[in-house]
Amino acid sequence: MATLQVPLRGHAGGAPTTKAVILVGGPSRGTRFRPLSLDLPKPLFEVAGHSIIDHCFSAITKIPEIQEVFIIGYYDETVFRDFIKDAARDHPHITIKYLREYQALGTAGGLYHFRDAILKGRPDRFFVLNADVCCSFPLQSMLRLFEEKDAEAVILGTRVPDEAATNFGCIVSDAHSKRVLHYVEKPESRISNLINCGVYLFATETIFPSIRSAMKRRADRPRLVSYPSSDALDSYHVPRSGDEEEKTEVIRLEQDILSDLADNRQFFVLETKDFWRQIKTAGSAVPANALYLMKAWQSQSEELAKPSANILPPVFIHPTATVDPTAKLGPNVSIGPRVTIGAGVRIKEAIVLEDVEVRHDACILYSIIGWSSRIGAWARVEGTPTPVREHSTSVVKNGVKVQSITILGKECSVGDEVRVQNCVCLPFKDLRRDVANEVIM
Ligand code: GTP
């Protein structure tokens, strides 16, 4: 049985050391990101010209003291190979490794399984970032609060509209001291509109013993703990004898650890006033794209297209894309590699992925166009705008809940003059007539 080595904090009088973990999940997760995740693991999907995981990683690289980053998940070893190669080339002072769980162990179970790797070199603390969130990752401010309060854990929180709060982990905190008093994952009734952003900073000497205690509690009463997460429902099964061990290894920060930390630990919340969204459904990539483009625009990023009469910022155009000068793009548009955009095209609030062809005078609004798709002349592909404050990507049309963002999977084709409205279209479909509010299988 492996022993748990717990380092002393601020060891040998030196500066505290900090690592970071990005939790990426695995192929059984991200099902709500279909049809886009059928062709690419969600963390590698590009918004605002960078993969979702790259947005997390680049926030980590802004903290100079972090020299080791782990990506923990249960995707195949090859999935993040190119990302890691590029990241290591661009940031030679950072070691970045993929640690693969042999099966889904849960957001805390994965950390615990790889505790020896995380604890190597005796770091004092480490960040944990859920890869499926889009935010400005104010890691420096979290570190500051951690030090100011001599904390054992800091969680990033944000306010959401009251009616949305119960879809998230809710935090009750002391407004003055910022101490977390109470944490409930998706409560049945409203307890607070301050919610968990999925970004944490943990003291190593606190978090691993907390996970171990939760595992022990779990082992002591295995039959009471068989709740599946929303994504895990697909694979959840009725226990047979011998299954207990497998099931009891799933330990989640949200359900099993955070409420305990709130009860008896130095646990604080940093409330961000900056943007935050989850990236769960495929449609949620469109607001995430807009928010990251806006951030790049505010920081005067050189990567964005220069504004002009036909470029309404912020717009990202990959250098290998060809855009006719009469096409009007923006705001909040990302154009991928080798895309060709014809004359008179209009694109707004949209992501156009690699190798797409958009023929002349087509219009694309509130949509994602999948890899190698083809949009005909005068065609119209459109979703419905949702209010900026909304944390949902569905709308009700004719009494039916449909996706507000239109999504075309890989290699779809939309005929000339065809109109596609609020549809999710699986890969390889040929749309030759107008469609609205449908999932096209
Ligand atoms: P809810 O719909 O809120 O229940 O969320 P979810 O089940 O879709 O995601 P969850 O909050 O459980 O996951 C948060 C982050 O952790 C995401 O980036 C997931 O990919 C990742 N994650 C979830 N489960 C696991 C796991 O078993 N192992 C690892 N390494 N990552 C995980």
- What 3-state class would DSSP assign to 170? strand
Atom 27 of ligand 1, residue of closest alpha carbon:
106
Whether 120 and 203 map to the same domain: the answer is yes
Which residues, in sequence order, are CB contacts of 343 under 8 Å at separation 6+? 324, 326, 327, 360, 361
261-284 residue pLDDT tens: 998 889 999 999 999 999 988 999
Provide φ and ψ at 40, rounded to 5°: -155, 135
User: Which pLDDT belongs to residue 109?
Assistant: 94
Query: Does the pLDDT at position 9 exceed 80?
Result: no
Q: Which stretch of DSSP H or E encloses residue 352?
A: strand 346-352
Whether 89 and 191 map to the same domain: the answer is yes
Query: Does the pLDDT at position 54 exceed 70?
Result: yes
Report if pTM > 0.75. Answer: yes
Residue 74 alpha carbon, nearest atom of ligand 1 = 30
Whether 188 and 258 map to the same domain: the answer is yes
CA 210 to chain CA centroid, Å, is 25
Query: Does the pLDDT at position 433 exceed 90?
Result: yes
Q: Is residue 7 included in any domain, yes or no?
A: no
User: Which pLDDT belongs to residue 121?
Assistant: 92
Among all chains, which residue has been given the structure tokens 């912020």?
A: 314
Domain count, the chain: 2
Distances (CA, A) of 153 to 158, 257, 277: 17, 11, 22
CATH number at residue 22: 3.90.550.10
Whether 43 and 189 map to the same domain: the answer is yes
Whether 332 and 245 map to the same domain: the answer is no
CA 351 to chain CA centroid, Å, is 16
Atom 23 of ligand 1, residue of closest alpha carbon:
25
Whether 114 and 203 map to the same domain: the answer is yes
Whether 135 and 189 map to the same domain: the answer is yes
For residue 167, give its domain range.
18-278
The dihedral sign for the CA sequence 160, 390, 279, 295: negative
Q: Which stretch of DSSP H or E encloses residue 29?
A: none
270-323 residue pLDDT tens: 999 999 999 988 999 999 999 999 999 999 999 999 999 999 999 999 999 999
Average pLDDT of the segment spanning 139-166: 95
Whether 116 and 257 map to the same domain: the answer is yes
239-268 residue pLDDT tens: 333 444 444 579 999 999 999 999 888 999
User: Which pLDDT belongs to residue 242?
Assistant: 40
Provide φ and ψ at 81, rounded to 5°: -60, -50
Whether 340 and 416 map to the same domain: the answer is yes
Using most ligand atoms within 8 A of CB, pick from 134, 184, 229 the residue to mutate for ligand 1.
229
Q: Is residue 296 included in any domain, yes or no?
A: no
Query: Does the pLDDT at position 229 exceed 50?
Result: no
User: Which pLDDT belongs to residue 223?
Assistant: 55
Q: Which stretch of DSSP H or E encloses residue 210?
A: helix 204-220
User: Which pLDDT belongs to residue 226?
Assistant: 47
The Å distance, Cα 8 to ligand 1 centre, comes to 30
Ligand 1 is surrounded, with C-beta below 6 A, by 23-25, 29, 72-74, 101, 104-107, 110, 130-132, 198, 229-231, 254, 280
Q: Which residue has the higher pLDDT, 30 or 71?
A: 71
CB 133 within 8 A of CB 198: yes
The Å distance, Cα 106 to ligand 1 centre, comes to 7
- What 3-state class would DSSP assign to 68? strand
Whether 330 and 270 map to the same domain: the answer is no
pLDDT band at 343 (very low <50, low <70, confident <90, very high): very high
Using most ligand atoms within 8 A of CB, pick from 72, 112, 231 the residue to mutate for ligand 1.
231
Relative to beta strand 413-414, strand 430-431 is parallel
Among all chains, which residue has been given the structure tokens 């703990």?
A: 225
Query: Does the pLDDT at position 10 exceed 90?
Result: no
CB 380 within 8 A of CB 362: yes
The Å distance, Cα 412 to ligand 1 centre, comes to 30
Which residues, in sequence order, are CB contacts of 36 under 8 Å at separation 6+? 42, 45, 282, 285, 368, 370, 407, 409
User: Which pLDDT belongs to residue 251?
Assistant: 93
